[in-house]
Amino acid sequence: MARWCASKDWPVHPLAPGRKTPAANCKHCSRPGHTRSRCQCLPKGRWCHGFHAATVDPALIERWWGRNPDLGVGVACGAARLVVIDIDDHPQPLPGRDRILPGIPIPDQVDLTGLTNGFHSLGVLAALRGAQSPADDASTLRVRTPSGGLHVWYRAPGDARRWHSSVGQGGGASLAWQVDVRAHGGYIVAPGTVTPAGAYTPLEGAKEPALLPAWLAEELSRTGHLRSQRVPAAKPQPGPSPARRAVIAAGGGRDRAARVLASALAEVADCASVPQGAGFTDKLNRAAYTVGGLVAAGYLGEADAERVLLEAAEFARPGQDRRAAPIVRSGMAAGSRHPLQLRSRP
């Protein structure tokens, strides 16, 4: 399957055997504070950092999957010039009416009985626009997921880097409740990939992605999935970075502490480019542990430390503060029991 995807000019990267998440980084890349921007694994042809390692190089593909045939296959959507509509069918309580179709009010008199999944919410959106639901679009590649969902593959019009991913929790940049968007900054599981729950199976009909329908492109633009072509003018930075300001506010501004803090925050912020499968919880917990050690050693104050950690978490996973806050608090508490004494404190 990896070779077939590469033949379509879709860059591929390994998924963990039997799972839909990227294969684990090497030990070096898994260390706290490591960031992709400084990583030497990608230039050396290793698969660290998920979809950022995606390739169409036959030699790399042969090396990765030839030696590890149990690896699954992920496709980097942005590099493959794809926009994939990921329709979920998860047993979840229905959210508020304002979160079913973000930006489209649903009056109280509308009966929502029977609306239970992404197929339904996307169907409502399509009906409002007088269009066919992507779930029923046999003109394009559609792949049934083991959980009963559906991946609807489309070719991205124009510059694929302008189309961005989201997770369909019914807020922020979501297209619809239980409908994810996989585009630039994300990946999709390739057809034929097998997990313990089942296989990703193409449906009858087209075996190639069709061009993204115009009405759907307009909806994605409306919900913030299409970035402007304008390049904003660079704004002067009045003063130090947030991480640096946190250290200064704590009364030190010590360079080494600032670097450790900035590195910890960067690891969390890096998760913004991967909506799922980035190990966000573990990375936030490790960062909080490190920062807790800095607090215990007197390099910065507890309030400042917690604030910048929550800011980094909000950047990586907008609207998930209820999830992030307890991770930050418990990680800092654990780290505070082991003060982080740096080698030098100039």
In a domain, 344, yes or no: no
Domain count, the chain: 3
Say if residue 270 is in the same domain as residue 199.
no
In a domain, 38, yes or no: yes
In a domain, 214, yes or no: yes
pLDDT in tens, 73-113: 999 999 999 999 999 998 888 988 888 998 898 888 888 98
Count CB atoms within 10 A of the CB of residue 127.
11
Can you count the helices (H) and strands (E) in the chain?
9, 11
Say if residue 247 is in the same domain as residue 166.
no
**What is the average per-residue pLDDT within 206-220?**
96
Identify the pLDDT of residue 234: 37
Say if residue 253 is in the same domain as residue 143.
no
Can you give the CATH number for the domain in which 204 is found? 3.30.2250
Say if residue 125 is in the same domain as residue 265.
no
pLDDT in tens, 170-185: 445 689 999 999 998 8
**What is the average per-residue pLDDT within 26-37?**
69
Say if residue 87 is in the same domain as residue 197.
yes
Choose between 308 and 83: higher pLDDT: 83
In a domain, 236, yes or no: no
In a domain, 342, yes or no: no
**What is the average per-residue pLDDT within 121-137?**
96
Say if residue 133 is in the same domain as residue 172.
yes
Is residue 195 classed as helix, strand or coil in its secondary structure? strand
Identify the pLDDT of residue 340: 81
Identify the pLDDT of residue 236: 38
Contact 82, 160 (CB under 8 A): yes
pLDDT at 338 over 70: yes
Say if residue 36 is in the same domain as residue 85.
no
Contact 308, 258 (CB under 8 A): no
Domain-terminating residue out of 30, 53, 75? 75
Is residue 234 classed as helix, strand or coil in its secondary structure? coil
pLDDT in tens, 219-264: 999 998 987 654 444 333 333 444 444 444 444 444 577 778 877 8
Contact 307, 246 (CB under 8 A): yes
pLDDT in tens, 134-171: 999 999 999 999 999 999 999 999 888 889 888 755 44
In a domain, 140, yes or no: yes
Say if residue 203 is in the same domain as residue 88.
yes
Torsion of CA 251, 254, 257, 262, to 10 degrees: 90
Mean pLDDT of the chain: 83
pLDDT at 343 over 80: no
Identify the pLDDT of residue 283: 87
Cα 339 to its chain centre, rounded Å, is 32
Domain-terminating residue out of 40, 75, 110? 75
pTM listed for this prediction: 0.67
In a domain, 319, yes or no: yes
Exposure of 148 by Cβ count < 10 A (0-12 exposed, 13-18 middle, 19+ buried)? middle
Say if residue 194 is in the same domain as residue 246.
no
Say if residue 83 is in the same domain as residue 18.
no
Say if residue 296 is in the same domain as residue 321.
yes
In a domain, 256, yes or no: yes
Count CB atoms within 10 A of the CB of residue 140.
20
Say if residue 29 is in the same domain as residue 143.
no
Domain-terminating residue out of 26, 52, 75? 75
Identify the pLDDT of residue 273: 63
What domain range is 185 assigned to?
A: 77-228
pLDDT in tens, 260-283: 887 788 888 777 766 555 678 888
Euclidean distance between CA atoms 270 and 145, whole angstroms? 27
